[in-house]
Amino acid sequence: MGALLVVLLIAPYYLDGFWLQLGALAMAAGVAAIGLTLLVGVAGQISLAHAVFVGIGAYGYIVLASDSSDLAWGLGWPPALAALGGIGLAALGGLVLSPLSGRVNGLYLAVVTIGLVFIWQHVLQEVGGISGGYVGRSVPELDVLGVNLGDTEPWVVAQVPFGAAEKLWWLGLLVLVVAYVTARNVVRGRPGIALAMVKESEIGASALGIDVRRGRAAAFFLAALYAGAAGVLVALTTQFVTPQGFGFQLSTDYLVMIIIGGLGSVRGAVAGAVFVTALPRVLGQYADRLPFLSQVGEGGIDANVMSVFIYCALLIVVIMFARGGLDRALGLLAGPRRRPAPDRAPEPVLAEVA
């Protein structure tokens, strides 16, 4: 893990703009996927509204950091404060909607959260002052205590000029590491064990004194907090956002990430996020060099369609034969272990406890 971190730290010195942006987007997806795996994989709540909270984080930052105009709203906050505000708004949204998770569960919660996605999309498309309508909105550069993280003030590090792409790579890596360590501690600690008990048996968890509704609400809130941080990173990386980017397709992508990565694994969530984020973009980048792919509009199979085929095939394999997903593969590459993986909660056996 330490060697991988070192490689990621020095990677901006050697990668071009495409790979830097791809890496930043993958890190942002990793943060969001970690939050969703806490909610779905650990707490056992099926949510398809994750894109809503990612969008709240992104648009929250834009509205708070931008200056107001005739076409779009803005409060003109300092960008660093606006970034925290965007994350806070997403977390607040999760807190407001968390009672849903306390009242409904399983398929019913999934249906309710699907409805939230379409309501969110309608609001974004109709309230142009927030979203910019179908045109979208540009994203203000991030400035932290006078340190610019955009292209306005390039850095020179070891005689290498660093622009927004390199800076955001490091920012994304920092946020991902903090998110990973925090989630791992939650999963391996008492909160994670309690959530795992709720997932296995609500009656058994209640008999042990665990507040089931409070636990579900806490998981929903934490997942929204992670999604908000990911939304701010996505906005900063893309530098322009539209309502279409935070719809149902994005929510299903996040669900695919945590299933392919290994449901309930923090490490697997990051691996799945990297895979799902990188695959269509890499295939699209090298479509002219791959004989089985075609450019968009030329007929045949394009990169996005091929990516869907690969996702579906992997989902079938993971669900039917390899529940551990990419996390299991990473564990095999790392060698046998005598202890459970550090980013998974131990499986409670409530039947024996009861």
CA distances to 128, 193, 313 from 347, rounded to whole Å, are 47, 8, 28
Structure tokens given for 182: 């925090």
Residue position matching structure tokens 């648009």: 59
% pLDDT > 90, the chain? 47
Mean pLDDT across the chain, nearest whole number? 85
Please tell me the predicted confidence (pLDDT) of residue 226.
97
Please tell me the predicted confidence (pLDDT) of residue 39.
92
What's the rounded mean pLDDT across residues 117-139?
Answer: 90
Least confident of 5-9, 125-129, 273-277, 338-342: 338-342
Residue type, 42: V
Is pLDDT at 354 greater than 50 in this prediction? no
Please tell me the predicted confidence (pLDDT) of residue 157.
76
Q: Does residue 285 contact residue 291 with C-beta atoms inside 8 Å? A: no
Bridge-based pairing state of the strands 240-241 and 160-162: unpaired
Please tell me the predicted confidence (pLDDT) of residue 343.
63
Q: If pLDDT is split at 50, 70 and 90, which confidence band does 224 have?
A: very high
What's the rounded mean pLDDT across residues 314-336?
Answer: 76
Bridge-based pairing state of the strands 143-144 and 147-148: antiparallel
Q: What are phi and psi of 147, to 5 degrees?
A: -95, 115
Structure tokens given for 263: 């449901």
Is pLDDT at 351 greater than 50 in this prediction? no
> Which residue would you say has higher pLDDT here, 329 or 268?
268
> Which residue would you say has higher pLDDT here, 322 or 64?
64
Q: What are phi and psi of 156, to 5 degrees?
A: -120, 105
Q: Which residues contact 290 (CB under 8 A, 6 or more apart)?
A: 283
Helix, strand or coil for residue 308?
Answer: helix
The per-residue pLDDT for range 237-273, each reduced to its tens digit, is 999 999 999 999 999 999 999 999 988 899 999 999 9
Please tell me the predicted confidence (pLDDT) of residue 77.
94
> Which residue would you say has higher pLDDT here, 326 or 339?
326
Is pLDDT at 117 greater than 90 in this prediction? yes
Domain boundaries, the chain: 1-245
- Angle at which helix 190-200 crosses helix 212-238, to 10 degrees, equals 110
What's the rounded mean pLDDT across residues 187-196?
Answer: 86
Helix, strand or coil for residue 157?
Answer: strand
Residue 39 to residue 45: CA distance in whole angstroms: 6
The per-residue pLDDT for range 197-220, each reduced to its tens digit, is 878 777 787 787 888 788 888 899
Is pLDDT at 334 greater than 70 in this prediction? no
Please tell me the predicted confidence (pLDDT) of residue 266.
93
Residue type, 6: V
Least confident of 109-123, 156-170, 224-238: 156-170
Residue 216 to residue 213: CA distance in whole angstroms: 5
Please tell me the predicted confidence (pLDDT) of residue 311.
81
